Amino acid sequence: MAATAPAPVLDRPTAAQPPRTKTYRVDGISRRRMAGRTITGALIGLAFLTPYLIMLVGSLKTRAEILSVPPAYFPQDGLQFGNYATMWDTPETPLPFNLGSTIIIAVSATLLVLLVATPAAYYTARFRFPGRMVFLFLVIITQMLQPAVLTAGLFRQMLWLDLNNTWLAMILINAAFNLSFALWIMHSFFAAIPKEIDEAAQIDGAGRLRVLFTINLPLVWPGIVTAVIFTFVSAWNEFAASLVIMSTAENQPLSVALTKFIGQYSTSWQYVFGISIVAIVPVIILFAVIEKRLIGGLTAGAVK
């Protein structure tokens, strides 16, 4: 019997080795790239925070340490927390009154801007009237003017109105110079809202005011936040008009009171740094309070 050829032996399939893969987070970004972005963001944040850290450390030094050569980067005689207590009783200026004046002027000017800019932005975004674009163009042109170049005219105008050296004068001036920016910002947000939302609310029986306050305002909350932050910070830091119009030391804001510690031959740098840190705190509080409501306002009010 003829021998049969042995059947060929087939190679057994080997288990395929899984390819090497990167470790990804849920959002698809590799951990290495995420770490790089985190480090980069931390360095950028540190670069922006460095001036404030220098002011904070300087406010806790003695004047001799600040002026020492070579400079002492950290307090050598202990942290001088007493600087924050003694600066309120310095003979140069009554800081408690200056802080209260700054708060009243900045808050009142911000509220006045919102009261005027909100209905004006809604009307210009929803209605087409003759001269609308000319009006908006003239509004934005006023943003080119600053109190620093109009101080002489503002001083004479406040004298004529018998408002010189009053909080009301500075409230009106700060509101006037920030109104145009707030109007344009809020106008763009109102214009981005579909008109069908207003029409649907009106079909359900809502009037214009109700549509504005209950439907549109929640949707334009990011624009309101932007206007509030810009107006408040601008009014808080205003200097030129306050220097000319506010002649009484008790009525002057912190921005003017700060210059009293800078003399021709001597400067109390520890108090300058301390007042600067105190002036930053209300702005930080404003950001912390408003930031919580910013995201919630992006979609609130759109669903009936």
Question: Residues with Cβ < 8 Å from 121, sequence gap 6 or more?
Answer: 182, 183, 184, 185, 186, 187, 189, 190
Which amino acid would we find at residue 20? Answer: R
- Residue 297 confidence (pLDDT): 45
Rounded distance, CA 233 to CA 186, Å? 17
> Looking at 17-31, 87-101, 112-126, which range is the least confident one?
17-31
pLDDT of residue 266: 73
Residue 158 domain-assigned (yes or no)? yes
Would the pLDDT of 24 be above 60? Answer: no
Q: Where a domain ends, among 80, 110, 144?
A: 80
The reply to whether 227 falls in a domain is yes
Question: Has residue 282 been placed in a domain?
Answer: yes
Whether residues 65 and 99 share a domain: the answer is no
Does residue 1 fall inside a structural domain?
no
Q: Tell me the pLDDT band of 303, cut-offs 50, 70 and 90.
A: very low
What residue numbers bound the domain in which 137 lies? 89-298
- % of the chain beyond a pLDDT of 90: 13
Q: Give the C-alpha separation, 212 to 201, whole Å.
A: 10
Output the pTM of the full model.
0.78
**Average of per-residue pLDDT across 111-136:** 85
Check whether 26 has a pLDDT greater than 80: no
The answer, yes or no, to whether residue 8 has pLDDT greater than 60, is no
Does 114 score more than 90 pLDDT?
yes
In angstroms, rounded to a whole number, what is the distance separating the alpha carbons of residues 227 and 178? 9
229 and 279 share a domain? yes
Going by C-beta distance under 8 Å and a sequence separation of 6 or more, which residues neighbour residue 63? Answer: 268, 269, 270
What's 287's domain CATH number?
1.10.3720.10
* Domain endpoint, select from 80, 112, 143: 80
Q: At residue 301, does pLDDT exceed 80?
A: no
Token representation of residue 47: 């670069």
Is residue 271 located within the same domain as residue 164? yes
Asked if residue 250 is part of any domain, the answer here is yes
Are 73 and 93 in a shared domain?
A: no
Residue 295's pLDDT band (cuts 50, 70, 90): low
Averaged over 200-226, what is the pLDDT? Answer: 82
pLDDT in tens, 35-88: 888 899 889 988 988 888 888 888 888 888 888 888 777 888 778 888 888 888
Distance CA(205)–CA(211), nearest Å, equals 10
- Are residues 200 and 177 located together in one domain of the fold? yes
Q: What pLDDT was estimated at residue 106?
A: 94
Average pLDDT over residues 149-172: 89
Task: Answer yes or no: do 106 and 70 share one domain.
Answer: no
Contacts of residue 117, defined as CB under 8 A and 6 or more positions apart, other chains included, come to 179, 182, 183, 186, 227
> What percent of the chain lies above the pLDDT cut of 70?
85
Q: How many domains does the chain have?
A: 2
| pLDDT, position 236 | 92
In this predicted structure, the answer to whether residue 27 has a pLDDT above a threshold of 60 is: no
240 and 129, same structural domain? yes
Do 200 and 268 belong together in one domain?
yes
Q: What is the pLDDT of residue 136?
A: 77
| CA-CA-CA-CA dihedral for 240, 244, 246, 247, to nearest 10 | 140
